[in-house]
Every structure is written in C-alpha cells, then in structure tokens.
C-alpha cells in the first residue's frame, strides 16, 4: 500500500522547476496529481485546501530550491 501523500509529493517533484521559476518561497496546494494553487502563506494554502477538498489528505509545501532537513522526535524513545 502506498504511503500517504506519495502521489502529491511526486506531483511536486514533477512541477518543481516550473513552481520555482514562478513562485519561489510561496506555498503550493496539491491534491493527487493536481496543483490547486499557490499562496503567500502556509495558512492560506491550508485554509484553501479545506475549503476546496474538505477533510481529506492534501499537501501544502513551501516552494524552495534547497529542501530543509526534517527531524522528528518520537515521544516513545526513553531519551
């Protein structure tokens, strides 16, 4: 079974260069294989995602040339 948002991440990868040339630093809203819009803030992109799609998975992502390193800490670790 594919991981959640894999299709949306692939859509972002496919559209990345076009998005960078037109909207660097802004936030994109993606559902499945469709770019639904570009927004100035992440909150605007999220709000529009819920308005257009409802309570279903969608991707909002900042359009950047260099992807930041993500670190997640599990509360399950005894550290």
Query: What residue spans define the domains of the chain?
Result: 6-62
In this predicted structure, what is the pLDDT of residue 50?
A: 97
In this predicted structure, what is the pLDDT of residue 10?
A: 97
Contacts by 1-4 with C-beta closer than 8 Å and gap 24+? 4/57
In this predicted structure, what is the pLDDT of residue 44?
A: 98
59 has which bridge partners?
30
In this predicted structure, what is the pLDDT of residue 1?
A: 39
In this predicted structure, what is the pLDDT of residue 69?
A: 78
Place of tokens 């992502």: 61
pLDDT, averaged in runs of 10, over the chain (79 residues) = 83 97 98 97 98 96 89 62
């Amino acid at each position: 079974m594919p991981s959640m948002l894999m299709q949306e991440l692939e859509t972002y990868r496919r559209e990345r260069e076009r998005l960078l040339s037109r909207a660097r630093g802004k936030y994109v809203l993606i559902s499945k294989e469709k770019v639904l819009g570009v927004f100035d803030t992440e909150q605007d992109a999220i709000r529009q995602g819920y308005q257009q799609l409802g309570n279903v998975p969608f991707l909002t992502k900042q359009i950047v040339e260099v992807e930041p390193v993500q670190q997640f800490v599990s509360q399950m670790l005894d550290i």
